[in-house]
Structure 1
């Protein structure tokens, strides 16, 4: 009888173990299938790389002379790198250039950078073109634009298209000097008069 009891006890133990494993498997399946819907989503906040010295939301940098604003660059997010004197700008990067008669140019891009020591900056679109809107009725389209603060020069090596009242100019590369209202397309220039 001891042999029968032992054999039946082993059978019961096997059945119990099998039942426990099935119950555990069913619990895992239910948790995986239903669990994520019950979880509270975490608040989304931008993640900045660890190598940045600081991260900012609502970045703004203004260049002024004699109490008058020359230009202003803003971005929704920025990463500051103190050793390089650089701020990497992300998400709704806006530049406004000012002249004696008010705003002379505005542009909005997806990303950019500014050297906080030299005050040179770059602004670009991830896809498509920036639209640099000038107060004289002209608009410059190009994927990337750079500002040389010492020379007060805006420039690009990229393709450009300039539209204005009854005029369209296309070409490769451009130098613009907002203070003197000079603009030069470097090569492959085509002019259309409408």
Structure 2
């Protein structure tokens, strides 16, 4: 009789321990988000996708590109790299620098032309600042251009207009229309 009670108590205690352990595991699993998938489905057109990108190139003219982006997608057939949250640092052969930033960028790997869109800014080494919502860099002419409203400001002046051509080699800015200027700058 005593042996049967001991066996019963032992079985009940073991079952209770198993049930408590199962309950703890079940409660621990509730509320946990599923693990993120390691692979993200990409478009068939994308050959490569990379996060936290840093790309540097020195061109034939001696100009150095440095492109930083949160993500980049490369489409080989289109010779196109697409960037999110992009920063482009151009170092001219004379040492002058221009930093361009924007929400999105498209870089033609064949022509070396680039477009940047969304909250676009350009800052020169001497502090001149340009803002617009879209710009294009034309590698053949070493110029930055836009057909959108643009504001240029520095310590002494603020100039706004619609459309701009900025020659990087000549360091010459041309605003194309609706030009307004005021002194005082930033």
Same fold (TM over 0.5): yes
Cα gap change, 1:152/1:66 in structure 2, threshold over 3 Å: closer, same or farther?
A: closer
After TM superposition, list the pairs within 5 Å mapping 1:118-129 onto structure 2: 118-125=111-118, 129=119
Instruction: Provide TM-score, normalisation by structure 2.
Output: 0.74
- Cα separation, 2, equivalents of 1:38 and 1:56: 28
Determine helix, strand or coil for the equivalent of 2:98.
strand
Cα gap change, 1:71/1:38 in structure 2, threshold over 3 Å: closer, same or farther?
A: closer
Cα gap change, 1:62/1:69 in structure 2, threshold over 3 Å: closer, same or farther?
A: farther
**Residue 52 of structure 2 contacts residue 68 of structure 2 at CA under 8 Å; is this kept in 1?**
yes
Which structure has the greater CA radius of gyration?
1
**In the comparison of the two structures, how many residue pairs are matched?**
158
Quick check: 1:37 aligned with 2:35?
A: no
Quick check: 1:55 aligned with 2:49?
A: yes
Partner of 1:140: 130
CA apart distance, 1:73: 2.1
Quick check: 1:81 aligned with 2:71?
A: no
Determine helix, strand or coil for the equivalent of 2:131.
strand
**Residue 63 of structure 1 contacts residue 72 of structure 1 at CA under 8 Å; is this kept in 2?**
yes
CA apart distance, 1:44: 7.3
- Kindly provide the CA deviation profile for residues 52-72 of structure 1, in whole angstroms up to 9, marking residues without a partner as x: 122122334434246944322
**Residue 150 of structure 2 contacts residue 164 of structure 2 at CA under 8 Å; is this kept in 1?**
yes
- Cα separation, 2, equivalents of 1:142 and 1:86: 23
Partner of 1:151: 141
Quick check: 1:165 aligned with 2:155?
A: yes
**Residue 63 of structure 2 contacts residue 93 of structure 2 at CA under 8 Å; is this kept in 1?**
no
- Kindly provide the CA deviation profile for residues 77-115 of structure 1, in whole angstroms up to 9, marking residues without a partner as x: 11111111111111x211111124434211221111100
CA apart distance, 1:49: 2.6
Quick check: 1:174 aligned with 2:164?
A: yes
Cα gap change, 1:46/1:111 in structure 2, threshold over 3 Å: closer, same or farther?
A: farther
CA apart distance, 1:193: 1.9
Extract unaligned runs of 5+ from structure 1. 1-30
**Residue 165 of structure 2 contacts residue 174 of structure 2 at CA under 8 Å; is this kept in 1?**
yes
**The 10-residue stretch of structure 1 (132-141 or 152-161) with the greater mean CA deviation from structure 2:** 132-141
Q: How large is the Cα RMSD of the aligned pairs?
A: 2.5
